[in-house]
Structure formats: structure tokens, C-alpha cells
Structure 1
Amino acid sequence: MDLSWSLAALCGFAFLAGFVDSVVGGGGLVQMPALFVMLPHVPPVTILGTNKFVSTWGTAAAAMQYARRVRIEWRATIPTFVAALLFGFLGARIAALVPSEAFRPMVLVLLIAVLAYTLWKKNLGALHAPRLNPSQTLWAGLATGTVIGFYDGFFGPGTGSFLIFAFVGLFGFSFLAASASSKLINVTTNGAALAFFITHGHVRYDIATPMIAFNVAGGLVGSRLAIRHGSGFVRVIFIVVVSALIARFAWDICTRH
């Protein structure tokens, strides 16, 4: 396939990925497979770095939108971010030593449980009603950041969805507030991972640069729609993305055995 046509298609996928990622995370479900298909001769590690380079810009644009228009619960967001950043590095180091494929069935079960609970609790995340006192919020944030940060560094897929679910189910956030907090955490943890890819030369800038504009545009459109339509809209997109993650993991497990 001609590179110009491949790049045009990738820009379209980048917009869709930015849109999905800005609402509930999971943009990698769209953008990563597209990069692998359109750039079959590019090393996988460079695909990962290019994807991370593009998505970080879109996530940053969405995070700025949320920070300006949605009240951020900093008492929960900051400790979660700090722990996620630290344990993300630890997870990445361990991932280099321990194969992560064995975790796929466990992640599939967790995603099914998250989807079932979200569907069962019809009003989950509809209202923003934080239920923890300051001390509980601190420790819950550290625990959430530790677990999800380690998972993100060690394995990764579905991190945004797990983070939003934790803010909704554990802290009592609305889906909109949870999405806003998760974006602020994602943009920094993504930036930390991106530093590795850049310093090791694993980014195709000729591909990534035009994709960035479309990913950012998708992120801005998605975050504005989420802010305008509220938690009900975010909940629907969350259910769709988690369902897609379940399908992906089930397919991966079936085709690997």
C-alpha cells in the first residue's frame, strides 16, 4: 500500500482513537492495530513508541479541556498519580524479566466483572458524590495508583477503563469527574513512558507528526462532548470500550491456544 494512503488512513484512525481515549480511555484499541496493519515492516517497539507519541498529545489536549471545565478532585488525583508514576516504572522493569502473557485470562475476568457490575448498577457514576474522608481518600488514592500503575507498566491494556472504574466505584465519583481525573494521570504516566521511547529512537516522527493533529482534534471533540452531555454519555462509551476490550482479550486468548 502506498505510504500516502496509509498515512491518510492512519490520520483517520488517530482522530477516532483520540475521541475514544478522551472520553474513557482505550484509544489504543483503535490506533495500535491500525499502525501494525499499515506499517507491517516497522519494528513492534517502534510501533509502540509512535503510538505513545501520538496519543500523549491527544490525551494532553483532553486533559486541558477537563481541567478548565470540570472540577478536579485533587485530594484523590494527586496521590493516585504519584503512586501510579512510581509503580509504573517498577512494573515496566519487571515486565522486562517476567512474561506478561499469563495475565491475559485474569484481566479478561476482571473486565467481565467490571462490565457486569456497571450494567447491574444502573445509577453507578450518574452523580458525583465522593464518599471518603480526606484520610481515606489519601490511602485509597495511593492504593489505586499502586495497583493500576504497576499494571500499566507491566501489561497495560485497559488501564484507562480500570482507572475510571476505580474512581467511580471506590471514590464515588461521577463518570465525568472520573474521566477528568484519569486523563490528568494518564498524560503524565504516558509522558514518562514516552521519554524511554524517544531516548532510544523508537518513534517514527514522519508518521507520528501528521497523526498528532488528528489525535488532538479527536481528543478535543470527545472531551467537549463528554463535558456537554455528562456522565450518561461517558457511561455509554465506557460500556462500549470495556466490551471491546473483553472481545479483544477473548480473541487473543483463543488464538494463542
Structure 2
Amino acid sequence: MLDPLVLLALAGVGMLAGFVDAIAGGGGMIALPALLSAGLPPVAALATNKMQSVVGTGMAALTYWRRGFVDLKALIPAILFTYAGSLIGALVVRQADTSLLEIAVPVALIAIALYFLFAPNLSDADRAARLTFRLFVPVMGLLIGFYDGIFGPGTGSFFTIGFVVLFGLGLTKASGSTKALNLTSNLAALTIFIPAGDVVWPAAVAMATGQLIGGYLGARTGIRYGARVIRPLVVVVSIALAIRLLLFP
């Protein structure tokens, strides 16, 4: 049984994680260490993190959608493929060797940070797409969803860079679409974690309460300030994730 003060602290952590995640992704970098510090075993911490993040990500996705920054109808095929990819990844993770990802993912995250830091004309304006949205966003969803199910860190950054570079979305639209697919991949993982009894519900409920507030405020901040806040935060979160994965795998 977790102490009420620990649960209160976790609610505060959930609010901060939800705020950061709604803008640039990477909220798990804040939430997961907090759950481990509260004494949860690794699998329980991972499952509880997925459960609490669903609430914040769902709130953020809803807020972006209500403000017109998510074309839900266009994303439906990608949502289905993302769910399938994440579910497959979660099923095979027990038999897969992810040691290569421990090096490859930080390198990819640093590359994303450098792109967002130095690329010209990164703004909220849409640009010409390099790939057909209807055909290739589901492929991206399947691949990144599989990655999220099998490993996970940086999923939001990978979705965001894909929407910007491959499909020409402005940063605010890219962030909103990322939340919709990130929510889907988390739900897929929970279809395995919840029946297995891995979620620690008092911690999940406490953090989810904070996530509701943080996810809403983060989405509103992203919508209000757009690329001015999304761009630097993606850089900071990507570099911080890369450092954590390299130094504390």
C-alpha cells in the first residue's frame, strides 16, 4: 500500500509529465523514474506508466482535435495499424533482443534534436508532403507502434518527425496527430498489462489525476504558442531521452 504523501507526489509528477508529453512527448522520462523510486517493480512501473499516460495523452489528443489540429477521419487507418503494431511488439518483446536499440535509439533521438534545432522554416505552416498521407501514415503507425510495444522511449519524437518531414504537417498539427497515435500504441500495450494484473491502480489513479490537468494545459500551451514552444521542447526532450538511455539504460 502506497503512502498518501507518495500518491500526492506522484500526482504532481503526473501533471508535469502530462504537460511535457502534450507538447513534445517524453513524459515517460519523468513518470517512469518516479514510479520506480516509489518502490514499484520494473514491469509494474512500466504498466502503471502506460495506464496513467493514456489519460494525459487522451486529454491532449482531445484538446488538439477540438481545436481543429487533428484530422481524426484521415488518421483512422493509421490508428488501426498503430494498435496492431504496438500489440505485436508487446507480444514479442519477451523473446526479442533489444540491446541494439539501446544504442540506435539515442543516436536517432540526437539526430531528431539536431534537425529541429538547425532545420530552416520549421513552423506551423503545412508544406508539400514527400509521401502520400493516406497510404504511408498507416505504415509509419505500424512501424513506430511496433517499436513502442517492444521498446518505447522516444515514440512521440519519432511520430512528430515523421509527420513533419515525410507528410509536411506544421508543428502544431504534427504534435496533435502524434498524440492520437501515441494514445493508440499505449492502449494496445494495456490490453496485455491490465489482464496480467501488472497495473498498480492507486499509483495509476493518482498520476492520472495530475495527467488530466497537465495534458490539458500542455495541449493549450502547444496550440497557443505553436512552433515557438514545440520546436525547442522537442530538442530538449530528445537530447534528455538520449542521455538517459546512454547513461542509465
Per the normalisation by structure 2, the TM-score is 0.92
Structure 1: gaps spanning 5 or more residues: none
Cross-structure match for 1:174: 170
Q: Which 5+ residue runs of structure 2 have no aligned equivalent? A: none
- The share of aligned pairs that are identical, in percent, is 38
1:176-215 pair list within 5 angstroms: 176-215=172-211
Residue of structure 2 equivalent to 1:80: 78
Partner of 2:116: 118
Q: Quote how far apart the aligned CAs of 1:99 are.
A: 2.1
Per-residue CA deviation, residues 9-56 of structure 1 (Å, 9 max, x unaligned), is: 2111111001011112110000000110122xx322111111111111
Q: Secondary structure at the match of 1:184?
A: helix
Separation in 2, partners of 1:75, 1:56: 20
1:223 alignment partner AA: A
Alpha-carbon distance, 1:97 to partner: 0.8
1:221-240: CA deviation from partner (whole Å, max 9, x where unpaired): 10011111112211121111
Report whether the alignment pairs 1:97 with 2:92. no
* Alignment partners' CA distance in 1, 2:191 and 2:92: 18
SS of corresponding position for 1:5: helix
How many Å separate the matches in 2 of 1:78 and 1:171?
16
Say whether the 8 Å CA contact 2:84–2:188 is kept in structure 1: no
For residues 85 and 146 of structure 1, what CA distance do their matches in structure 2 show? 8
Q: CA deviation at 1:217?
A: 0.3
Superposition misfits of 4+ residues, deviation over 6 angstroms: none
> In structure 1, what is the Cα distance between the partners aligned to 2:188 and 2:145?
12
Paired residues, number:
248
CA contact (8 A) 2:14 2:208 kept: yes
1:75, distance to aligned residue in structure 2 (A): 6.8
Q: Please tell me whether residue 162 in structure 1 is matched to residue 158 in structure 2.
A: yes
Q: Distance in 1 between matches of 2:36 and 2:167?
A: 37
User: What CA distance in whole angstroms lies between the structure 2 residues aligned with 1:91 and 1:210?
Assistant: 28
The one-letter amino acid of 1:199's match is P
Query: How high is the TM-score relative to the length of structure 1?
Result: 0.90
Superposed displacement of residue 144, structure 1: 1.1
Instruction: Supply the distance in 2 between the matched residues of 1:83 and 1:132 (Cα, whole angstroms).
Output: 20
**2:70, 2:176 within 8 Å by CA — same for their partners in 1?**
yes
1:164-192, Cα deviation, whole Å (9 max, x unpaired) = 11001111111100011111112222122
CA distance in 1, matches of 2:115, 2:224: 26
1:33 aligns with 2:33: yes
